[in-house]
Amino acid sequence: MRILQAMAGAERGGAEMYFEALAAAFERLGLQQRVVIRRNPERLARMRAEGLSPVQLPFGGPLEPFTRMALSVQLARFQPDIVVTWMSRASAKMPPTSAFHIGRLGGYYDLKYFAGCDLLVCNTVDLVDFCIDGGWSRRRVQYLPNFVSLRPAAPEDRARHGTPAEAPLLLAMGRLHENKAFDVLLHAMPQLPDAWLWLAGEGALADELAALATELEVADRVRFLGWRDDKEALLAAADMVVVPSRVEPFGNVILDAWAAERPLVAAAASGPAAHVTDGENGLLVPIDDADALAAAVRRLLAEPQLCRDLVAGGQASFTEGYTEAAVTGRWLDLFRAVLR
């Protein structure tokens, strides 16, 4: 079984990090794979550290011809049985091939870019429905969730960020983008006077969110950590994880919270609503509701037993369906099925 994977994503992002994780997992399984990525020295170094040897291509705009020609060369040399293209650009750039072509979606992309694919793999049931509503037949769309693998890590030093050791610490992670609704979380902070917030991520709204924290008079209890590659240390230091997203097709941070045994509060966007059962493995609140978000956090701070119950429920959910072994096993089953 020979697998060629191609990904032309952004320099940083959740889908890009998961692509790296899945490619590394396939490598540990001993699959023969060729990995093609957009030029990115940091990603190249990380993937080489996992034993991979990625091919780097420009993956430029629609009129850039080199990438498509170079992909044709890779297909001819490697002779894959299966091609997996991640997101829109890699899927659109991939030349026609005799290999079985799988397009992998982690968001509500324009489906025209996946016209050359034989099958679509989506990481949420909602995305499966999105593809079917977009004209794809049910037999050509498959649901396969994400996984996370956390490495043991010592807690990040709170003193390094001027955070009291005894203060309740909330952790939120993701792109500083309107979809992530970190503005809603900041609006909840005045109702949580004893709590501190670490926000790990970067993006176009960085200055706007910092200004909002100042306007709300909570800047002294909010720390903008920038992009971090050591989420394990941040999770170990936090008391709970908050996912306030307006739009969230899946939400890897949910899995991070479950795997790290941290209680979870999430807004009921499509991904969290599909995976979180309110009161069992997390608390769900309405989208764009800072009051409800603050009330859920206060409830967790006041009810230690509820925190323990949610942690146990999250661990059970994670172990049942979102470990590396469980998800890569489903990928292998899919590969075998399409080759048959």
Tens digits of residue pLDDT in 97-114:
999 999 999 989 999 999
Tens digits of residue pLDDT in 236-263:
999 999 999 999 988 889 999 999 999 9
Two structure tokens written together for 278 = 């309110």
Task: Give the contacts of 67 (CB within 8 A, at least 6 positions apart).
Answer: 57, 58, 59, 60, 93
The whole-angstrom separation of Cα 106 and Cα 129 is 13
The mean per-residue pLDDT over the stretch 57-77 comes to 95
The three state secondary structure string of 64-100 is CCHHHHHHHHHHHHHCCCEEEEEHHHHHHHCCCCCCE
Place 269 in a pLDDT band, splitting at 50, 70 and 90.
very high
Tens digits of residue pLDDT in 168-219:
999 999 999 999 999 999 999 999 999 999 999 999 999 999 999 999 999 9
pLDDT at residue 68 greater than cutoff 90: yes
305: exposed, middle or buried (C-beta count within 10 Å: 0-12, 13-18, 19+)? exposed
Inter-residue contact 238 to 199 (CB < 8 Å): no
Give the CA distances from residue 193 to residues 154, 181, 200, 265, 288, in Å, rounded to whole numbers and listed in that order. 27, 20, 20, 18, 20
Backbone angles phi, psi at 192, to 5 degrees: -125, 65
Task: Give the contacts of 325 (CB within 8 A, at least 6 positions apart).
Answer: none
Per the document, the length of the chain is 340
Domains of the chain: 2-147+323-339 (3.40.50.2000), 158-321 (3.40.50.2000)
Two structure tokens written together for 122 = 């989506």
Closest Cα partner for 262 from 239, 279, 284? Answer: 239
